Each structure stands twice: as C-alpha cells, then as structure tokens.
Structure 1
Amino acid sequence: MSPLEKLFANLPRLPSMPRVVQDLIASLCKDDVDIGSLVAQVKQDQSLSARVLAMANSSAYGASKKIGAIDQAVTMIGLSALRSIVIASGMSRTFAKVEGVDMKVFWRHAMISASVARVMGKREGVNPEFAYTAGLMHRVGQLIIHLAHPGVAKQLERAHAPTGLEMLKVERSLIEVDHCEVGSELALHWNFPPEIQNALRWYVEPLNPAAGLLAAVVHLSTQIAQRLDNGETPEQIADELDEAVLARLSLERADALWRIESCKDLPAATELLM
C-alpha cells in the first residue's frame, strides 16, 4: 500500500459532497446546463437559498426592490455566481469542523483565492469555472491530513508555518506525501475534471513539466489573494509576481496588474459567500 493509500485508509470516513454540488461540478464541462434542475435543488436547501438571496439583494447587483424568489435571484446573479455559492457552500459544509484548523480563516482565504483565480483564469486555454473550483480547493489536502493524522497535523502546526515548497518538504518528511498529492487524490475520488486534479497536484510547483496552465493560475491567485487580504496595493503585488510563472501564462506584468486591480474588492465581497 502506498503512503497515499495509507493516508486515505486512515480516514475515519471519506468526506462526501452534497448532491447539488456534484451536479454543478459535472455541469462545468457542459454547455447545456439544466438550470431549472439546479434551482430546484437550491430551493430544497435553506442555507443555500439564503445565500443566493443575500447575494441577489446585495449592493453589487443593485436590485431596485427586494428579491424574495430564488428563481428571480438566480436570474439576477447568473449561473457563474450560482456555481460560486453552491460550490463554496458545499465545500465549507463538507469540512465544517477540523480539529486544529480555524475554518473561518481557512475558507476565507480559499474563497478569495477562488474568486481571484476566476479573474486570472480568463486566459486562452483556461476554463474560469475550473479556475474558481481549483482555487477554492487548493489547500483541501491539508484538511484531509488533519483528519487522517491529527498527531502529524500538530507537528505541522509547530513547524513555524512554512509555505510553498518548504511546506511540502515538511509534510513529506512526516507522512511521505504532501497536501498537493492528497488534494489531487480527493478530487479524483470526487470525480472532478482531470484539469482540476492536475492543478491541485502542481499549484505549488507550477513550472513542473507535468503542470498544466491551471496550476500556474492557482499558484498566482493564492499569492494575490493573501496579499490583497493583507492590504497590499495591486502595484505592490504585481511587482512581486514570479516572472517565470507569468511567462508560463504568457501574461505581461501590466496585464496582471489590471487584473489584480479588478480583484481588489474581492476580500470584502467574499463575506457574501461565507
């Protein structure tokens, strides 16, 4: 049994996604989405319904009067926003509580990263909805590690909060696998598209020959999200982006800058999804 198989075998149970989220993930690859069916499922979920109505009635959409019907709300916000709400809600409820992890902080960063990834993912060959989902899930492997090996997770917490490649090295030294491998394997179990599986596997190492464009998008987006949330300006962030990763996406720094500028209000907007 491989270290990855051992880790999943050590889980008390494999987390499962709500049916409506599974259907939405499947719809990412389709042009002819049955919105009526998705709306019907949202109506059956009080939490999702509340979030959809909250977004439709937010200042971002400028409704002239209060919207109280889900059908009208979905028409107002559109399929893309509906997907965001359902996928984000489904993920956060699947991992509602993990010992040793501040889940509010975890999902806040994940949701900002996802929204930035959708913007950064509007490149040739990159599906922006895949980008959103991969950005949302980029650290989900860490949650699985916490669930499967609580003791190891405590050691990781004492490892002076390493990031990037250093984090992967620490994880591999303790359990022979890292959260990128674990996240990719979970995406496989959940039947996520191969592009998302690849992005989760390589987002920390976007220049690896095996990494697709989506991995580079998620890599940049997680960094941009963190720094936006820290209050840095778009100019400061753009100046620090890795030149090689930008080149991987054929993205000029000036182009990256205006995309970051369009994301500067995302940390505040993320509250609508939480």
Structure 2
Amino acid sequence: MDIEALFSELHSLPSIPKVAQDLIQQFDNPASSLESVARNLEKDPVIAAKILRLANSARFRGARESASIEDAASRLGFNTLRTLVLASAVTGAFKTEAAFDLKGFWLKSFQVASISRLLAKQVGVDAEIAFTCGVMHNIGELLIQAGAPRFAAIIRASGASRAANETLQLGFGYPEVGAELAKRWHLPELIRTAIAYQANPFHAPNNAPLPKVLAQAICISDALEAHGGATPDARVALEGPLLEGIDLDLLFEKLPALLEADKAFAEQLT
C-alpha cells in the first residue's frame, strides 16, 4: 500500500478551519498587527474562547481579567497566540474512538513540543516553529487512529523502531503520513520536513536542523517517560551521536518548570 491508497480509504480528511489557516499566514507576515490579528480571532468563537481562558489563567492573568480578544491577545503576545491558534486547530481536527487516550496523546505531544523549544534555543533555531513541530510530530499516528482503525494495531507498537516497523508492514510510517497531512493542510515546508525526517534526521535535505531538534526532543521525552520525569536516571540514559552538542545539564535544569507550565497550557486546549 502507498500513502495515496491510505488517504483514499479515509472517510473524511481532518480539516483546519479557514480562519485558523488565515491566522497562521497572518502571524508569518511581519506587517501584521495585534489589532488585525484580534479581528480575525473573533471570527472563530472556539479559538476566541480558548484565548480568553488562557489569558485569564494563572500563568498569564494580571491584576484584572481580560474581557476582550484584543486585550487577551496583547497579554499573550504573538508567539503564544500563534502556538495556541495552530494547536487549537490541530487538536480540534481529530475525533477518535473512546478507547484511544486522546488527552494523553496531546499531553505527550506538548511535552515533545516544550523540549523542542528548549533545544531550539540552544542551537539557534526558531523556538516557536520548533514548538509547533513538536505539537504536530505525531499527527500521522493520530490520523490512522482516527480514520483507518484497521491499521491501528501496527501504529500502537512502541519503541525507537516504530517507524521502521510501520514501513515494513505498510510501506510507510507515521512520519510520512504526518508530513503528507501537513502538506494537504498547506502548512509551511519547514514543518513538513521536520515531521517527515524526525525518525531519520541525518538524512534531512540540506541538513535542515528542525528534524534533528525534533528527533532529540522525542528521545528526551521517551527518557523522561521511562524514568519517571526529569530524574538523574533519565539524564544518565541520554547519550549517543544524536544528542552530541546539546547541554543536557542546562536542559534538565530548565525542564521541570517548563514542562509544568506547558502541561497547563495543553490542558487548556484538550
């Protein structure tokens, strides 16, 4: 089977609202203002409600509540707004079987995203784009869970060889599926490349740095999961050529507070 055959079997392709697509393009336009972004945000009541809720959460709330989208947008800032809009659009695009732990899936995705942001700052890569790649890194798995359940048993296989196992069984793995979905959503090529090469970052075209950042973040997240968080054992478990050049001691100093903050952020969306 090839990816085209898989997509043709889907009953419906998850879609990102046009308002969200317009906003993503607007965030990438240096001429955009918070006022113009706020006007577009008001067109999507679901995203607008999440923005107000986040702006009034413990993480962002000031001396008074935000009652307007423009005030909330000003409080959150461009980077947080961009992340929230895309994450909200993506998390709202999928409906899965009740047996699938959708909240756990997104919490894991946001953990990878948080680690990606920290790593990106170390190596001089755009931290917010890295965060977005982390949020979306596993949408290929989610697409199959939501739309092609007969393949779900293969997708549920865990471990570093999961992509290879899927390729052996299906002819493609979750990175390729995710990259194809990102393409059909008209997301930037930087994001598509990071998703496509996350399992094989050293073969990314033009030595693109984001696939490596994403691969490193997944590796670190898996170590945290295996060793009960940002523990000394998790730190010791992280070694090998993939992580060369990363200051893991500095990363582990910053991880606990950041992961807690972004977990709260994820729970605002899921």
Kept in 2: contact 1:88–1:136 (CA 8 A): yes
Distance of aligned partners of 1:186 and 1:242 in 2 relative to their CA distance in 1, 3 Å threshold: farther
SS of the residue 2:229 aligns to: coil
Matched residue, 1:163: 159
Give CA-to-partner distance per residue, 1:129-168, whole Å, 9 cap, x none. Answer: 21111101111011222345321213544xxx32222x11
Matched residue, 1:41: 40
The answer to whether the aligner puts 1:180 opposite 2:179 as a matched pair is no
Matched residue, 1:84: 83
Matched residue, 2:73: 74
Give CA-to-partner distance per residue, 1:207-234, whole Å, 9 cap, x none. Answer: 3354621112112223444555674225
Kept in 1: contact 2:96–2:145 (CA 8 A): no
The count of aligned residue pairs is 267
Structure 2, unmatched stretches of 5+, are none
Q: Which moved more, 1:228-237 or 1:172-181?
A: 228-237
Kept in 1: contact 2:190–2:210 (CA 8 A): yes
Distance 2:235 2:267 in 1: 24
Q: Which moved more, 1:253-262 or 1:196-205?
A: 253-262
Kept in 1: contact 2:91–2:269 (CA 8 A): no
Kept in 2: contact 1:57–1:67 (CA 8 A): yes
The answer to whether the aligner puts 1:52 opposite 2:51 as a matched pair is yes
Q: Please give the residue correspondences for 1:81-230 in structure 2 after superposition, counting only pairs within 5 Å.
A: 81-98=80-97, 101-157=100-156, 161-165=157-161, 167-208=162-203, 210=205, 212-225=208-221, 228=224
Distance 2:265 2:228 in 1: 15
Letter of the 2:44 partner, please give it: D
Distance 1:156 1:253 in 2: 30
Deviation at 1:75, TM superposition (A): 0.7
Distance 1:201 1:30 in 2: 25
Kept in 2: contact 1:55–1:272 (CA 8 A): yes
Structure 1, unmatched stretches of 5+, are none
Normalised TM-score (structure 2): 0.86
Distance 1:197 1:45 in 2: 25
Matched residue, 2:229: 232
The answer to whether the aligner puts 1:270 opposite 2:258 as a matched pair is no
Q: Which moved more, 1:98-107 or 1:86-95?
A: 98-107
Kept in 2: contact 1:168–1:178 (CA 8 A): yes
Deviation at 1:10, TM superposition (A): 1.8
CA RMSD of aligned residues (A): 2.6
Distance 2:217 2:125 in 1: 13
Normalised TM-score (structure 1): 0.85
Distance 2:242 2:27 in 1: 26
Deviation at 1:76, TM superposition (A): 0.8
